[in-house]
Structure 1
Amino acid sequence: MLRMFETTTAITASLLLAACSQAGQDAGPAAPAPAPDSTAQAPAEGPAMVAAANPLAVEAGLEALRNGGDAVDAAIAVQAVLGLVEPQSSGLGGGAFMLYYDAQTGELTAYDGREKAPAAAGPDLFIDPETGEPLSFFDAIFSGHSIGAPGAVAMLAMAHGDHGTLDWADGFTAATELAENGFEVSPRLHNLIAGVAPRTPLDEWEATRDYFFTDEGEALPAGHLLRNPDYAATTRALAEDWRNLYTGRIAEEIVAAVQAGPRPGTLTLEDLANYEPVRREAICRDYREWSVCGMPPPASGGVSVNEILGLLEPYDMSQTGPDTVEGWRRFIEASRLAYADRDAYIGDPDFVFVPAEGLLDTDYIATRSALIDRDTAIEHAVPGIPEGVDAPGADATADVPGTSHFVIVDSDGDVVSMTTTVESIFGSHRMAGGFLLNNQLTDFSRDPRDAEGRLVPNAPDGGKRPRSSMSPTIVFDADGHFELATGSPGGSSIIGYVAKSLVGMLDWELTPQDAVALPNVVARGDTVRIEDGMPADVLEGLRELGFTLDANRGENSGLHAVRRLEDGSLIGGADPRREGVALEP
C-alpha cells in the first residue's frame, strides 16, 4: 500500500501519486510534504552520524553537527567538500535529489535539484544535423549540448532556508580552507584520472588539463598536494550569496565553457538566472511492516525501488537469504520487470504523464509479481500496461555510472539522504570557477522518437529535467519512526544497488555494512550483471534456470546507509568500493 500521512490519518494512494504525476510545487515558500509520523514530538538529543564517500567530506559534516548544525547544515558542508575532493562524481556544477526528514514535526520533504535543459533545447538535441542520426555516446557527453543548468546549490539553499540553523556561509568554510591549503589526491582519484584520460578527452580543455595533470602530462599522483584557488574563490562567493553561481562572474564563466567548441551548447545567462529547485512530495509505499520513501519523478528511484519491493512482497525473502539461488532469482526477476516499466514510462512530470500511481497500484503489482512465480527465467521482461496509458513508450537512454550519495542523521533525529552528481565520470570534462560542469542532459534519450515517430517520455526539451535513476531512500517503521536511510551512485544501476541494500537489511537482517558489501546484482534487460564475490554454486544455479549472466565483474556502487537500532543507537555502512566512512561526531 502506498501512503502519505497528514496529522492523524492517512490519505489515499491516489492523492499521493496524483501529486507526483502533476507538475511539482513551485520553488517559492511552501510547507514541506507531510511524512510518516507528523505527530512526532521533538526527540531528546541523541546520537548523530555522517556516512559519505570521502573522509574529508565526512569530517566537514561532523564539524557542522558539532557546532550545533542541522542535518541540512552538514549536507552543505559535505557537498562543498565532495565537489573538491571527489570531483569526478559530484559538485557545484551538478544536480542532486534530497530527502529530508524533520524528526520534530514528522514531515518529509523531497527536494528536487535536478539540472534543466536550456530553453533553446529541443527533441533533436543529440541528433547530428548532418546525418540525422543520434550523436555517438562520447560526442554527446563532451559537447556543450550535454550541460544543463546546475541545481545542487540552489536546492541546498532552499533546504537551508527551510531547516538550517547555522549561517549559510558556515557550510563552505571547510571546502574553502581545503581548496586554499590543498588536499592529498586520493588513490581513487589518481586511478580515475589515469584510467579515463586514455579513453576520453579529459585533457582536451586547458583548465581541466592544468588541474588534473602534471606539467609532463601525467595524471596527478596519489598523495600530491592539490590546491584549487579558483574553487576557493567560488566557495567564498557562494558563502556571500548562493545566487552568485547563477548570476555574475561565475555564471559568465559557466556559459563561456558551455558555448566553447567543439559542439558548443546553448545554455545562457538567462537559463542560469531562471533556474529554480522544486519541493515535491515523496513517494512512500508499504513493504511488509515498513514504509519505504523515495524521490518522485523525474527521479525514477522512488517508483522503481518500491516496485521491486512490491513485486517481492508476496515471497518470503527472509527464508531465501543472500547465499541462495532462489533469493537472487526472485530479486533478478523483480528488477527486470521494474526496469522495463521504468524505461517505458518515467520522465519529467512537468512535460509528460507519468503513471506512477498505476505502476505502484496493488492490483497491478500483484499481476506483475505473479510472473515471478516460475521455475525458469522469464525469457524477455517487457513493460506492463498500468492504468492511465494505452501502450508503453520506448527508451534509448545510455547507462552512465557516476555520482555520490551520503546520509546524515543529526542529534535531533533529523535525516538527510542525498544523491548528488555531475553525471558521467568527471562530468562534461569542462571546468568553470574551479569545478567541473555536468553532462546531465545525456540522461535524456539521445534518440527522441520511437519506431512510430512518437516522442518518448524521456525525450529532450527546453526547460525539461532529464529522467534520473537517483534513489535517495528513507525507511520508517510501523509506528512512523525513522528506521534507516540508504542510497547510491551508479547510473541506472542505482536502482538495483539500493534495492539490494534494502532487501539485505530488511529481509536478510544484515547490518548496513554487510548489506552494502553484498555483491551487486543489476538486472536491466536480458543480461544480468553480477559482481565478483557471488558464490559459484549460486551463479551455476542461475545459469541452469536460463539466465544470461555477465558475472565476476566490478560494479561502481557507492552505497552509504545509516540505521537506527532498537536502543536508539546508530549503525552505519560505507561502500568498500569507494573511500568513504560512516562516523559519529
Structure 2
Amino acid sequence: MVAAANPLASEAGYQILKRGGSAVDAAIATQLVLGLAEPQSSGLGGGAFLMLHDGKSLIAYDGRETAPAAANEKLFLDERGKPLPFYRGLIGGRSVGAPGVLRMLEMAHREYGRLPWRELFQPAIVLAENGFAVSPRLAKLVREDPYLRQDPVAAAYFFDRQGNSWPVGHVLRNPALAQTLREVAQGGADAFYRGRIAKDIEAKVRSHPDNPGLLRAADIAAYKPRKREALCSDFRVWRICGMPPPSSGGLAVAQMLAILSHTDIAQHPPRADGLDPEAVHLFSEAGRLAFADRNRYVADPDFAPMPGGIASLLDSEYLAQRAALIGPMSMGKAKAGVPEGVRSAWADGVSPELPSTSHISIVDADGNAVAMTTTVESAFGSRQMVDGFLLNNELTDFSYAYADENGLVANRVEGGKRPRSSMAPTMVFERDTGKFVMSLGSPGGSYIINYVAKTLVGVLEWRLDLQKAINLPNFGSRNGPTELEAGRVSENLVEALKRKGHDIRLSEQTSGLQGIMRIHVEEGDMWFGAADPRREGSVRGD
C-alpha cells in the first residue's frame, strides 16, 4: 500500500510494489513523481526524513539540507545587524541549502532496495517527457504566487507566453527534469552531487540579481546523509517513534502525548455537535508547553547537542511537572522548562516555518514500512528553478536572530549545519509485542506537530479509524493563540474556549496527512490507508 499526496505518485509507488519492489524502492519512485506533479512541496532540490521499519529494527535516515560552508550567523542580517524581512531573505539564492533527498534515498536504497536504481526513475521520466495534467491545487498555488514570475526559468515553465498560469488539466511537460532524471538514473546520486547539475545549482544561486547566495558546488559534493537513532517513547499501550533532532517533530509530538497522558482527554471525544471544548483546551495547553521547549532547545545535534541529552526532555518526572502546569484556564504563553542538565543560558529562536511539504506512507508485501516527510520548505521553495526542478529555501528554517539577552540561539546559522525542522514522520508499535501498527505524517510547517498529534489522539485515545481522525478539524497552539481550522468549528466551541481564557485565531490549516494502519478483522490483519481530503492525496494498495 502507498499513501501519497498526488494520485500519479501513489500509482507510481504502487506499480513498483507490484513488480516486487521494497518499501524503499516505492518511496523513491513516489518521491520522484511528487517532485514533478507537486513541485510546490518537494523535489530533487529539497530534503527529507525517512523512517524505515524492516520487521526487526527501526532506522531513521536524515536527508535534511545543510548550510553552505561559508555561511555564518549573519546570513539573514542586514548591514545594521538587524534581521532581514522574512521574504527578503527567502526569495533568491541566499536561502538555498545543499539538497539532501537524493543522497539519503541512495543510502536507503543501497541497504534496502530490491529493484535496480535506474528502474525506479522510469515512471517520473515518462511523465516528465509525455506530460501530466495540472491539478487544481497546483494551478491555484501557481496562480496566487507573487514570486514565481521573477525567475525567468520558472516563469517559462509555469506560465504561458502571455504570463497566464496554466489552467487545470493543461498537459505540462518538463523535458529538463526528464534529462536530469535520466542522468541520475544512469550515474547515481553522484551525477547530481558531483557533476553538471551541482555546477548549475551553484551558478543559479550565485547569479541571483538581488539576493545571491553562498552555496557552492563543493558544498553539494560534500553533502552526507545521516543515520540517526529514532526517538521512541511509550504512550499507554503503544510505542511512538519519530525523528530525532534536527527535527523537532518527533520530540514535540512525544512530549504532547506524554503530557496528555496526565489528563482525561480520552474522556472528551468529539461530540455530535463537534469538538469537545475541554479536549481542545487540554491539547492546546500541551502544545504550548512542547513548543516552548522546542523553540529554545532543538537544533542540529551535531552542532548544538541538547544539554543533558534529548532524553532529559522526555523524562517522565520532568513531563509530569510540565503537565501539572495545565489548569482550567489557558496559560496564554508557556515558558520553556528547565530539564535536568541545563545549566547554560539559551535564547529562543525566530524561524517561522512555512507550510509546504509532502508525506509518504508505504508498506510492502513483506510488511516493511516507510514514513517519509519531504520538502522544499516554502511553496515553490526559493522560487529558483534549474534543470527542471526548484531549489529549496531551507536556510530560512534557521533563526534569523542568533542571540538575545538570554544567550545564543541553538538554531542559529552555522556553516555545514542542518536547520531545525518540524517534519514528523511517525511510526506506532504495540508496546509489548513490538508489532507495527501505523505509519503517519503530514506537511504543514510547524503546524505539522499539531496535525500529527491530533491524529494520534483521535486514533489512540478516541478510538476513531485513521480516516476519521485525519478528517477531524485541525486545532491546537504553537505557544501563541489557540488556532482553530476556519470553517470547520462551531461558534459554541470558540465561545467556550474564550471563557477559558484562550485567544482564538481562525485560520486555514491545510494539513496533508497520509497514513497506513494495521487493523484486525475476522480474516486476519489487513492494511487501512487514509489520505487527507484537504489536499489531493490518494491511497493505492491490495
The one-letter code matched in structure 2 to 1:52 is A
Deviation at 1:517, TM superposition (A): 1.2
Equivalent of 1:467 in 415, 420, 428:
420
Deviations 1:209-265 (A, max 9, x none): 000001100111111110000000011011111211111111111111111122211
1:229 aligns with 2:175: yes
* Residues in 2 aligned to 1:397 and 1:425: alpha-carbon distance in whole angstroms: 16
Residue 309 of structure 1 is matched in structure 2 by 257
The answer as to whether partners of 1:383 and 1:392 remain within 8 angstroms in 2 is no
SS in 1 for 2:404: coil
Equivalent of 1:144 in 93, 96, 102:
93
Deviations 1:506-533 (A, max 9, x none): 1111111111111111301231110031
1:570 aligns with 2:516: no
1:54 aligns with 2:6: yes
Q: How does 1:536-551 map to 2 (within 5 A)?
A: 536-551=491-506
The one-letter code matched in structure 1 to 2:252 is S
The answer as to whether partners of 2:287 and 2:479 remain within 8 angstroms in 1 is no
1:246 aligns with 2:224: no
Deviation at 1:467, TM superposition (A): 0.3
Q: CA RMSD in A?
A: 1.1
Residue 143 of structure 2 is matched in structure 1 by 194
Equivalent of 2:17 in 37, 55, 65:
65
Equivalent of 1:290 in 234, 238, 242:
238
- Between stretches 374-383 and 420-429, larger displacement belongs to 374-383
* Residues in 2 aligned to 1:514 and 1:243: alpha-carbon distance in whole angstroms: 43
1:498 aligns with 2:498: no
Identical-residue share of aligned pairs (%): 50
Residue 65 of structure 2 is matched in structure 1 by 115
The one-letter code matched in structure 1 to 2:528 is I
Deviation at 1:393, TM superposition (A): 2.4
Deviations 1:268-289 (A, max 9, x none): 1111111000000000000000
Deviations 1:532-578 (A, max 9, x none): 31233222211110000012x31121111111002311111101111
Equivalent of 2:330 in 348, 352, 377:
377
SS in 1 for 2:324: helix
Q: How does 1:348-359 map to 2 (within 5 A)?
A: 348-354=300-306, 355-359=309-313
Residue 109 of structure 2 is matched in structure 1 by 160
- Between stretches 401-410 and 258-267, larger displacement belongs to 258-267
- Between stretches 308-317 and 158-167, larger displacement belongs to 308-317
* Residues in 2 aligned to 1:271 and 1:375: alpha-carbon distance in whole angstroms: 51
Equivalent of 2:293 in 338, 341, 365:
341
Equivalent of 2:126 in 166, 173, 177:
177
* Residues in 2 aligned to 1:62 and 1:380: alpha-carbon distance in whole angstroms: 45
Equivalent of 1:321 in 269, 279, 283:
269
Q: How does 1:389-400 map to 2 (within 5 A)?
A: 389-390=342-343, 391-400=345-354
SS in 2 for 1:422: strand
The answer as to whether partners of 1:385 and 1:392 remain within 8 angstroms in 2 is no
Residue 220 of structure 2 is matched in structure 1 by 272
Deviation at 1:134, TM superposition (A): 1.0
* Residues in 2 aligned to 1:558 and 1:321: alpha-carbon distance in whole angstroms: 22
Q: TM-score, normalised by structure 1?
A: 0.89
Residue 207 of structure 2 is matched in structure 1 by 260
Residue 34 of structure 1 is matched in structure 2 by none
Deviation at 1:583, TM superposition (A): 2.0
* Residues in 1 aligned to 2:515 and 2:238: alpha-carbon distance in whole angstroms: 16
The answer as to whether partners of 1:384 and 1:392 remain within 8 angstroms in 2 is no
The one-letter code matched in structure 2 to 1:449 is A
Deviation at 1:380, TM superposition (A): 2.4
- Between stretches 499-508 and 537-546, larger displacement belongs to 537-546
* Residues in 2 aligned to 1:153 and 1:327: alpha-carbon distance in whole angstroms: 41
- Between stretches 377-386 and 203-212, larger displacement belongs to 377-386
SS in 2 for 1:565: strand
Residue 557 of structure 1 is matched in structure 2 by 511
- Between stretches 376-385 and 208-217, larger displacement belongs to 376-385
The one-letter code matched in structure 1 to 2:361 is V
The answer as to whether partners of 2:332 and 2:503 remain within 8 angstroms in 1 is no
* Residues in 2 aligned to 1:330 and 1:145: alpha-carbon distance in whole angstroms: 40
Residue 28 of structure 1 is matched in structure 2 by none
* Residues in 2 aligned to 1:450 and 1:502: alpha-carbon distance in whole angstroms: 36
* Residues in 2 aligned to 1:233 and 1:293: alpha-carbon distance in whole angstroms: 38
SS in 1 for 2:67: coil
Equivalent of 1:101 in 53, 65, 88:
53
SS in 2 for 1:371: coil
Residue-pair matches, total: 528
Equivalent of 1:534 in 466, 489, 504:
489
* Residues in 1 aligned to 2:15 and 2:437: alpha-carbon distance in whole angstroms: 24
Equivalent of 1:386 in 329, 339, 349:
339
Q: How does 1:23-42 map to 2 (within 5 A)?
A: none
Deviation at 1:392, TM superposition (A): 4.3
SS in 1 for 2:241: strand
The one-letter code matched in structure 1 to 2:530 is G
Residue 363 of structure 2 is matched in structure 1 by 409
SS in 2 for 1:460: coil
* Residues in 2 aligned to 1:387 and 1:523: alpha-carbon distance in whole angstroms: 25
Q: Structure 2: 5+ residue runs without aligned partners?
A: none
* Residues in 2 aligned to 1:121 and 1:243: alpha-carbon distance in whole angstroms: 24
The one-letter code matched in structure 1 to 2:527 is L
SS in 2 for 1:389: coil
Deviations 1:139-169 (A, max 9, x none): 1111311000000010000000110000011
* Residues in 2 aligned to 1:269 and 1:318: alpha-carbon distance in whole angstroms: 52
Equivalent of 2:32 in 80, 94, 113:
80
* Residues in 2 aligned to 1:446 and 1:230: alpha-carbon distance in whole angstroms: 34
Residue 582 of structure 1 is matched in structure 2 by 539
Deviation at 1:411, TM superposition (A): 1.1
